[in-house]
Structure 1
């Protein structure tokens, strides 16, 4: 998550974007691996990745909403894969990617009404005195909204892949990858761009 300082801060440290992107890694793993025949393995791989990437933080009381959601969601999918037979899980096989993308969109956009989820990462590399500043709040509101909208569009795209199988490559791969790349680049550029306009 980009480091954010007050607009009149005397010095700016390098931008760090690792934390929030690592939290998306399990969801990306699931999206890449999941298919009608592999979603159980995708869920297990994503669960392991979620625990590996955030388990230590959770043990120390750092409850970040996206990390917790990932562990719960992929844990539930893994249990369902073990407990239910194939016929009972047809809906999961069909809509696994749609559900996962939609859940991230709901979590991200929903956090705007409480605490933008990107702020949870930004606080780890930002002085406490700027956490309530208008600049910090604005940047994280925008970044959270952009990530939420990107996953909302990915939800629609993966749903269209089901409706139009002949265009599966476009809706399941090309569109989501373009959205992710654009969102990552926007997240890297926007904080410094906005702060520059405020000075």
Structure 2
């Protein structure tokens, strides 16, 4: 699944962020995301299919610079929340500029004749909005949780897993539902 590959740096980062100093967690995220971008470009994947990967490289690059510049910053306690908020901004931003981030990924999985289909575009707008909403809810929940229960690791992990699992399941199911409806409609 292309989405799993796209989010791999974020997933690995979430796993190591609780184990490593935030500076080294940021470096792990940066190396993974930059490596993924390089690998995908060598595979000739188009730029528009790598929005999440590029966003990750920028986020982890900025985070690494900030973390090494100010290792004792209070921001280190909010990095998990900031990563979710960054993903939310990436997803919402892609909708605002009229280029849903899922569109480039979906184009890699369907025939080119479907790319201009309004239903294909609309489906990706809906899927991207679900991802954006999930990231937003996750960032708000994590911000609240970490403010009031900063050591609730199990709850943090649960929010992170749900923030990814719910939109993944939606992304798998929704196109099937759209296709089934389209096939039922008279021409």
TM-score (norm 2): 0.85
Structure 1 outlier segments of 4+, above 6 Å: none
Greater relative contact order structure (CA < 8 Å, 6+ sep): 1
Match of 2:25 in 1: 42
Match of 2:86 in 1: 103
* Aligned residue-pair number: 179
- The within-5 A match list for 1:70-81 is 70-81=56-67
Structure 1 gap segments, 5+ residues each: 1-17
Residues 34 and 42, structure 1, Cα contact 8 Å, conserved in 2: yes
Match of 2:159 in 1: 175
Q: CA deviation at 1:154?
A: 1.0
CA distance in 2, matches of 1:188, 1:54: 24
Match of 1:90 in 2: 74
Residues 29 and 42, structure 1, Cα contact 8 Å, conserved in 2: no
Residues 157 and 171, structure 1, Cα contact 8 Å, conserved in 2: no
Shift of the 72–58 alpha-carbon distance from structure 1 to 2, 3 Å rule, reads: farther
TM-score (norm 1): 0.80
Alignment root-mean-square deviation, CA: 2.1
Match of 2:118 in 1: 134
Structure 2 gap segments, 5+ residues each: none
Q: CA deviation at 1:94?
A: 1.6
CA distance in 1, matches of 2:132, 2:116: 22
Match of 2:14 in 1: 31
